[in-house]
Amino acid sequence: MVYSRILGTGSYLPKRVVTNDELAQTVDTNDEWIVTRTGIRSRHISDAEETSSYMGYHASLRALEAAQLKAEDLDMIIVATTTPDKGLPNTACLLQDRLGVTYIPAFDITAACAGFVYALSVADQYIRTGMIKTILIVGVDVLSAVTNWADRSTCVLFGDGAGAAILQASDKPGILSTVLRADGRQKDSLYIPSLLPGQRKAEELPYIHMNGREVFKFAVRALEKIVEEILADNGLSQDAIDWLIPHQANLRIITAIAEKLNLSMDKVVTSVEKYANTSAASVPIAMDEAIRDGRIKRGQTLLLEAIGGGFMWGAALLVY
């Protein structure tokens, strides 16, 4: 049987760190208010140079190094992002150019915060069918570019960053299964208006708009259900999970899901306190950090899950 196996991971975070205290100098908030409601203490914010393709490139180099591969060994590039460098060409093509590889397919997936899990699932299908052997997947977002920094209900939540993983065909267990879901009826709960001239309502600012209460309620229910579903599909219980790597949106959401699954927080990887919500990058950044600091070890079972605007959500069960 052919599996998709993670050979290496990498991540990149912008140089500039913005603490809660720094935010409090420009918006009506404070560190206690933010930490109590979100668990977030700081976030990394990009400068003009640190675009999605730039951050994705540096995360990719680290993933390639970890996998002991070169860019020319890649057969496909998939980038999950909501904040592309340009309208076109897509960010994957810009990343391909930075890596110096040509002719291989390169495309973007727009699935908001669920983007990396969606990309992982798509890559897995290509590898399982034998069409592709080695794939680079990247989750990257520059949410600071679409954040209203005068709105304390949203500006405290987001940060920038990139995470990458190299998948390769293997006869050893890797990705066991993935589950993807979407519900377009929730389109008004979390969205960014059109950035195209003439297609945005005059009263709508080109920033993230979010109904926080609705997002929280839907996210907890949806993620609890999809985690139970993917475990049942594989005949496993929560005890089989060595590490849960959730989307890093809000520590309260992460804690609520862990409690509903009767999963100790000692088995949950979190990075939201340092990096805030980096959208499609949040899962791969957290995974890369836990791999590099030795928490995640080869042979352990990982459960990845994420949800984002749309709503779109998904889960992936894998052996690292």
Which residues carry out catalysis? Answer: 113, 247, 277
Phi-psi region of 60 (alpha: psi -120 to 50; beta: other; left: phi over 0): alpha
At position 18, the amino acid (one-letter code) is V
| Buried b / exposed e along 209-232 (16+ C-beta atoms within 10 A) | bbeeeebeebbbebbbebbeebbe
Phi-psi region of 35 (alpha: psi -120 to 50; beta: other; left: phi over 0): alpha
- Shortest CA distance to 156 belongs to which of 252, 40, 251? 40
Contact between 76 and 104 under an 8 Å Cβ cutoff? The reply is yes
At position 243, the amino acid (one-letter code) is W
Cα end-to-end span (Å), the chain = 17
Residue 23, classed as helix, strand or coil, is helix
H or E segment to which residue 225 belongs: helix 212-233
Geometric angle at alpha carbon 186, from 159 and 316, rounded to 5°: 60
Contact between 56 and 79 under an 8 Å Cβ cutoff? The reply is yes
Contact between 167 and 5 under an 8 Å Cβ cutoff? The reply is yes
Q: State both tokens at 194.
A: 């059109």
| Residue recorded with tokens 């290496």 | 8
Phi, psi of 104 (to 5 degrees): -70, 150
- Shortest CA distance to 6 belongs to which of 151, 157, 168? 168
Phi-psi region of 311 (alpha: psi -120 to 50; beta: other; left: phi over 0): beta
Residue 268, classed as helix, strand or coil, is strand
DSSP 8-state code for residue 158: B
